[in-house]
Amino acid sequence: MGRVFNFGAGPSAIPLEVLEEAQRELVDFKGNGLSIMEASHRSAMYDEVHNEALTLIRELYKVPEEFDILFLQGGASTQFAMVPMNLSQGGVAEYADTGSWSSKAIKEAQIQGIDYKVVASSKESNYNHIPEVNFSDDADYCHITSNNTIYGTQYREFPLTKAPLIIDASSDIFSYPVDWSRIDLLYAGAQKNAGPAGVTIVIIKKDLQDRVKDSVPTMLRYKTHAEKNSLYNTPPTFGIYMLSLVMKWIKGQGGIEAIAKRNEAKAKLLYDAINQSNGFYVGHAREDSRSLMNVSFNIKDKDSDLEAKLVKESEEAGMIGLKGHRSVGGLRASIYNAMSMEGVEALVALMQDFAKRHA
């Protein structure tokens, strides 16, 4: 069987060139006689990989020097707890609730026992749009989820805040240039746009790290990892190696700016197919909030039999991962950086043919 087009929401597609390079180097990394997975994280061999990954992120994402880039573990779910642990100062933390993952972040703030407030939510409309949000100037911090994988919504621009803005960018990191003047901390699991599961990327302003209380466990302090270049304990070395290869791939594609243009073209092709289906396909997200990463849609009247049939036909045609999340049902095409235009064209062709046969 040949390679399939993987539309899964995550872990998701990794560029073929990256997989092939990792395959070539898996047993003998650059003539060292061992795999990078076997190398000590204190070795010069690994040190080069680690620092190259950090350098490439800073270069490609244009991260200013006043930010530290950290490689952690535990996914975004651990960051839901680490953010209030490290940044709460006894005031109010404010959250925008735009879906399942922001709701989980809010729950962790509640568990921490801090004072928090949900200042905007689209829950009543089943999270079909990004609500208008006005954060308080004196909040301890303000938290948003930039892209919502399940519901297919995404911020067009980040809110302008006086309080520190925290962004969970797990499903759209490295997919478009960001305005760092509006950001104080950005975090993301790697498994959608940056590599395999296991690495968590945190990009945090240096001055925020001093907020942490002495009662916070050592491993859960951003400052601990910043001071040790993310080598306080054994990092996920192979995942960081893979992340470095993905960053090289992005650079070879023309950088994040070029990736963004391609992502816009892919999304336009798919949304046009939905818009031009005469109501056969219905997108979940409002048009002003549509995600460039995750396209969630239903077949008219939420016909579950036809939706299941289309998923089955897609799998037979070499396209996987299109079944929608149970919260929305229907179908979901995740078109992250590694998804090719060819894959989106194949999906659109199938959707158009399917609509003709079942309209």
Active-site annotation, residues: 101, 168, 192
Contact (CB, 8 A) for 194 and 201: yes
Residue 102 structure tokens: 């922001």
Run of H or E residues at 341:
helix 341-358
- Two structure tokens written together for 82: 């680490």
Question: Which residue reads 């992120």 in tokens?
Answer: 57
DSSP H or E run through 227? helix 222-227
Which phi and psi (to 5°) does residue 24 adopt? -65, -35
CA–CA separation, 129 and 99 (whole Å): 10
Largest alpha-carbon pair distance within the chain?
Answer: 65
> How far, in Å, CA of 298 to CA of 45, rounded?
49
Structure tokens at 306: 């036809």
Cα dihedral: 120, 126, 127, 132 (round 10): -40
Closest CA to 291 of 314, 264, 269: 264
Distance, in Å, from the CA atom of 193 to the CA atom of 255, rounded to the nearest integer, reads 13
Question: To 5 degrees, how large is the angle CA 55–CA 177–CA 332?
Answer: 110
The answer to whether the CB of 331 falls within 8 A of the CB of 322 is yes
Place of tokens 């299941």: 308
Show the tokens assigned to 179.
């305005």
Q: Which amino acid is at 17?
A: E
d(CA 106, CA 77): 11
CA–CA gap between residue 36 and residue 41 (Å, rounded): 9
Structure tokens at 173: 């990191």
Number of C-beta neighbours around residue 66 at 10 A: 11
